[in-house]
């Protein structure tokens, strides 16, 4: 019995060795393909992250443009308010203009990096590693959130000034 079990054990060991050798051969033959697949996947993920960053840069610049439009409307509405209320040339008017200019300066500063990234996209695609890309993405998203807050505050202020102008117009018409 012992000879028979030794023979079965030897046979099982031989089969296991053949399977191991076959698996090693298959692994060796598929490794370059697997490595190539991994490289292609990494490149695709990197490209996708780059396109997302570029889209975020465009969204940030759109926020700046919206702030610039709101600033023009605010200038106009404040001029009307100052004329209707008789406060033309007052320190309050100058303060209002300074607040608008500060918002415009903030918007311009926040979009500087995005404009530079968009200006040289080819360099950006080839030269940036994943860590640096993540940092850029975080900075752009943070700047976008800041500009959204500025835009919302300006929009709110514009609504208030329009209401005040309407009240003065109704008073003048009565």
pLDDT of residue 9: 60
Strand (E) or helix (H) holding 111? none
CA triple 117-103-60, angle to 5 deg: 30
pLDDT of residue 27: 63
Indicate the average pLDDT of the chain.
82
Burial class of residue 104 in the structure, from the number of CB atoms within 10 Å of its CB (0-12 exposed, 13-18 middle, 19+ buried): middle
Split at pLDDT 50, 70, 90, the class of 4 is: low
Split at pLDDT 50, 70, 90, the class of 2 is: low
pLDDT of residue 65: 95
What's the DSSP call for residue 94?
H
Q: What's the CA gap between 55 and 49, in Å, rounded?
A: 10
Q: Using one digit for the tens of pLDDT, what is the confidence trace for 120-133?
A: 877 676 667 778 88
What's the DSSP call for residue 89?
T
Split at pLDDT 50, 70, 90, the class of 74 is: very high
- Stated pTM of the model: 0.73
CB 150 within 8 A of CB 106: yes
Among all chains, which residue has been given the structure tokens 């996947």?
41
Mean pLDDT of 80-86: 83
Mean pLDDT of 125-152: 88
Residue 89 Rama label (left phi>0; alpha psi -120 to 50; beta): left
Return the SS3 of 88.
Answer: coil
């Amino acid at each position: 019995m012992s000879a028979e079990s030794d023979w079965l054990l030897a046979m099982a060991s031989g089969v296991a060795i053949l399977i191991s050798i076959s698996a090693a051969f298959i692994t060796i033959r598929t490794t370059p393909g697997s490595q190539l697949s991994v490289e292609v996947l990494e490149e695709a993920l990197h490209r996708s992250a780059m396109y997302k960053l570029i889209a975020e840069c465009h969204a940030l610049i759109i926020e700046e443009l919206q702030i610039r439009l709101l600033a023009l409307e605010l200038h106009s509405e404040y001029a009307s308010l100052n004329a209707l209320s008789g406060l033309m040339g007052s320190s309050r008017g100058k303060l209002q203009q300074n607040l608008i200019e500060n918002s415009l300066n903030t918007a311009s500063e926040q979009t500087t990096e995005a404009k530079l990234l968009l200006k040289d996209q080819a360099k950006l695609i080839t030269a940036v590693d994943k860590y640096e890309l993540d940092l850029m993405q975080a900075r752009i998203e943070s700047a976008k959130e800041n500009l959204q807050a500025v835009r919302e505050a300006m929009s709110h202020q514009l609504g208030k000034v329009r209401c005040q102008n309407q009240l003065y117009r109704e008073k003048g018409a009565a």
